[in-house]
Structure 1
Amino acid sequence: MDLSIVIVNYNTKRLTMDCIKSVINSKIGFTYEIFVVDNASTDGSCEEIIATSLNVELIQNKENVGFSRANNQAIEQSTGRYVLLLNSDTIVNENTLNTMLQFMDINQAIGASGCEVNLPDGSLDKACHRGFPTPSASLYYMLQLSRFFPRNPKFNAYHQSYLNMKSIHEIDCLVGAFMLIRREAINEVGMLDEEFFMYGEDIDWCYRIKEAGWKNYYNPTVSIIHYKGASSRKKPFKIVYEFHRAMYLFHKKHFARKYPFIINGIVYCGIGLKLGVSALSNLAKHGR
C-alpha cells in the first residue's frame, strides 16, 4: 500500500462526506486506503458512511478521545508507505495527492510535507507554514510585530512569511489538516503524543521529526481547501482551554530545559493570562 489517509470525524457529517469524495475523485496513480475515525459523533456520521457504502475503514469510538489518539488508532492499523493526516473539513484538489507522493518519493530526506492550505475565501491558512513557537517567536507574534516588519526573520519567526510562499522550501512546522508523513519517520520518532488533545500535536510531531534528522517541507505547487474550525465550534470553551493547554505542554516538553527559570515563568504566566482573556472573551461572546 502506498498511502494511508486518516480522517478524524466529530459531528461534521456533511463535511466529512465531501472530504472523502474529494479524495475518491482525485487523480490517483497509486494504491491507497482511507480510515475514518469517529469520535462519538451524534449527527449520524457513522450511519451515513455505512449507508453510502464508501470504501473506507470506519473506526467508531464510544467517546471523544481527541485528535491525537484517534489518528493513532488508524495509524496503528494502516499499511501505507506514507500516512496522510487529513482534516474532515478539507477538500482535496484533484492533483494534490499524486503530486505530493511523487514529491516525497523523489526527496527521500523529507520526513513530512504539506501543501498550500487555503481558506474558502482563497486566502492562505497561515497555520500551514510556521516556525516553532519559541518564547521569542511567540512574543513577537503576540505583539503583532510581524505586521509591521513582515520581511524581518526575527520578528516574523512564527509564520515565516518572509520566505517565498510560492516556492518549495524547508519549513519548521506543518499543519495537521494536511500532513504527509513517511512511514520510516513515524517508526523512528513514534506516533502522535496523546497528551495533546486537539491542538499542538502537529507542532510536536514536526519538532520530533526534525530533531531526528528528517526534513519538513512546504510544497505550494498544489493545494487543498480548509473550512477551518468546523468541528471546534461545538464546545467553544473546551477549545479555548485545549488550545492554551497545548502551548503549555509543548513548551514544557521541548523548551523548558533550554531556558532559565525566569523565562519559563514568564512563558507560563503569559499562557495563563492569555487563557484568562480568551475565556472571558469567549464567555461574553457565547454567554456561557
Structure 2
Amino acid sequence: MQLSVVILNYNVRYFLEQCVLSVQNAIADMEAEIIVIDNHSDDDSVLMMQQRFPEVKLIINKENLGFPKGNNVGVAHAKGKYICILNPDTVVAEDTFSKVLAFAENQTDLGIIGCKLIDGTGNFLPESKRGVPTPWVAFTKIFGLYKLFPHHQLFNRYYAQHLNENETGKVAVLVGAFMVMERNLYIETGGFDENCFMYSDDIDLSYRVLKKGKHNYYFPETAVVHYKGESTLKDEKYMKRFQEAMEFFYQKHFEKSLFFFVFIKIGIFIFSFIKMFQGKQKQKHAAEKYILYSENSILCDKLCFILKNKVELCHIKKEKMVNSSLVFRDKRIEIILDNHYISFKKCVEIFETLKDKSITFKILPKNANFIIGSDSRNDRGQIVKIE
C-alpha cells in the first residue's frame, strides 16, 4: 500500500466530514487508506463517520489521549509505505498526495515533507515552514525581528524565510497539520513524544528526524486549506499548555542555564499573551453580498431564504461574471463554492486567487447539508445548515 492518511479528530464533526471527503477524492486512483481516530468527541463525529464513511477505518478512543498519543495509535494501524498526519480541519486538493509522493520518491535521506498551507481566507500560513526555535531564533520571533529583517539570515530563521512561500527546499521544522513521511521512519523515531500533550510535538518530531541525518522539505507545489482556529482555540488553557509545551521542548533538547530559563519564561509569556489577544479579536462583519459558484438555481433560492439576503448565482462556465461582480469593493462579499460542480483543487485555487480582506469563502461539500468556512485563523469557523 502506498499511503495511509491518519486523521485525529476531536469535536470538529463538520470539518472532519469535509476533510475525509477531500481525502477520498485525492486517493481515488491510489492504493491508500484513511484512518480516523476520534479522541472521545462529544459531538456526533463518530455517528457521522459510521453513517457517511462506513468504509473508512475508524478508531474510537474512550478518552482524549492528546495529539501525540492519538496519532501514534492511528499509525500503529497503518499499512502504507508512507503516512500522512493530517488535521481534520483541512481540505486537500485532488492531486495533493500524488504530487507529494512523486516528490518523495525522488529524494534521498528523506525525512518529512510539508506543503503550502493557507487559511480559510486564502492567506499563506507562515508556520508551513520553520526553523528550530533555539533561544535566539525564539527571541527573533517574539520581538518581531524576523519582520524587520526578513532577508537577513541572522533574523529570518523562525519562519525559514530563506525560502519564499512558493519555493521548494529544505527546512528544519514542519507543522503537524500536514506531515508526510515513511511509516518506517516514523516508527524508528518513536513517532510523536507522548510526554508532550500538544503544541510542540511537531517541532520535536521534526527535530528528531533531522538528528537522524534526514532532510525535511517544504513542498509548495500543492496547497492545502487549514482552518487553523478549529484545532487551536486561544484561551487560558491554550496559554498554559503552550507554556508547558515549549518548556518541554527546551528541557529535552537544550542545556539548562539560569539565563536560558528566565529568557524562555519571559518569552513564552509574551508569545502566549499575543496569541490569546489574537484569538479574542472581533470577527468580521457579516457579508453584504453573496455569490454562489454553482449551476444549481434551486440551491441559490434556498440560500437566499436561509441567509436572508440576495445570492447571485455564478454559473461555472461563465467565470467572467465573477470577476465583474467583485468590482463592488465597497461591499463585503462572501463566495460560496458548490463542490458538486467545483473540485476541491479548484476551491483552493479560488481561495488563493481571489483572497482579499473584503472577501470570505464557504464551501458546500458534495452530498452535504451545510456550507462551511472560516473568516479568521484565530477563531472558530462557521457552519450554516441548509436542510
Question: 1:256: which partner in 2?
Answer: 255
Aligned AA (2:124): L
Shift of 1:57: 1.0
Counterpart CA distance in 2 for 1:105 and 1:28 is 20
CA distance in 2, matches of 1:80, 1:153: 38
Among 265, 268, 290, the alignment partner of 1:269 is 265
Deviation at 1:17, TM superposition (A): 0.6
Describe the SS at the equivalent of 1:71. helix
Moved more, 65-74 or 119-128: 119-128
Identity of aligned residues (%): 35
What is the 5 A alignment of 1:1-288?
1-26=1-26, 28-233=28-233, 236-256=235-255, 261-271=257-267, 273-274=269-270, 277=273
> Offset at 1:106?
1.5
Q: Deviations over 1:167-204 (max 9, x none)?
A: 21000011100000112322331111011212111110
Q: Is the 8 A contact 1:247 1:271 kept in 2?
A: no
Structure 2 gap segments, 5+ residues each? 282-387
8 Å contact kept, 2:235–2:279 = no
TM superposition shift of 1:205: 0.4
Change (3 A) 1:282 1:245: farther
Provide the C-alpha distance between the structure 2 equivalents of 1:27 and 1:197, rounded to a whole number of angstroms. Answer: 30
Q: TM-score, normalised by structure 1?
A: 0.91
Secondary structure at the residue paired with 2:228?
coil
Deviations 1:225-249 (A, max 9, x none): 010020333x822222112211100
1-side partners of 2:168 and 2:53: how far apart? 38
Contact 2:68–2:193 (CA under 8 A) maintained in structure 1: yes
Give the deviation of 1:277 after TM superposition.
4.3
| Runs (4+) off by over 3 Å | 271-285
- Corresponding residue SS for 1:64: coil
| Number of equivalent positions | 282
Gaps of 5+ in 1: none
Structure 1 residues 43 and 165: CA distance shift in structure 2, 3 A:
same
Cα distance change of structure 1 residues 40 and 155 upon mapping to structure 2, 3 Å threshold: same
Give distance in 2, aligned partners of 1:166 and 1:116: 8
Going from structure 1 to structure 2, the CA distance change for 1:172 and 1:116 (only over 3 Å counts) comes to same
How many Å separate the matches in 1 of 2:175 and 2:121? 19
Q: How has the CA–CA distance of structure 1 residues 279 and 167 changed in structure 2, closer, same or farther, with 3 Å as cutoff?
A: closer
TM-score by length of 2: 0.68
Residues 282 and 147 of structure 1: CA distance in aligned 2, closer, same or farther (over 3 Å): closer
RMSD: 2.2
> For residues 243 and 269 of structure 1, do their structure 2 counterparts lie closer, same or farther at Cα, with a shift above 3 Å needed?
closer
Higher RCO (C-alpha under 8 Å, 6+ residues apart): 1
| Letter aligned with residue 142 of structure 2 | M
Superposition deviation, residue 110 in structure 1: 1.1
Q: Cα distance, 1:162 vs. partner?
A: 3.5
CA contact (8 A) 1:237 1:279 kept: no
Q: Distance in 2 between matches of 1:223 and 1:279?
A: 25
Cα distance between partner residues in 1 of 2:119 and 2:54:
26
Kindly indicate whether the alpha-carbon contact (under 8 Å) linking 2:82 and 2:183 is maintained by their aligned counterparts in 1.
yes
Contact 1:141 1:158 in 2 (8 A): yes
Larger-Rg structure: 2
Question: How many angstroms does 1:21 deviate by?
Answer: 0.2
Check conservation: 1:114, 1:178, Cα contact below 8 A: yes
Moved more, 263-272 or 153-162: 263-272
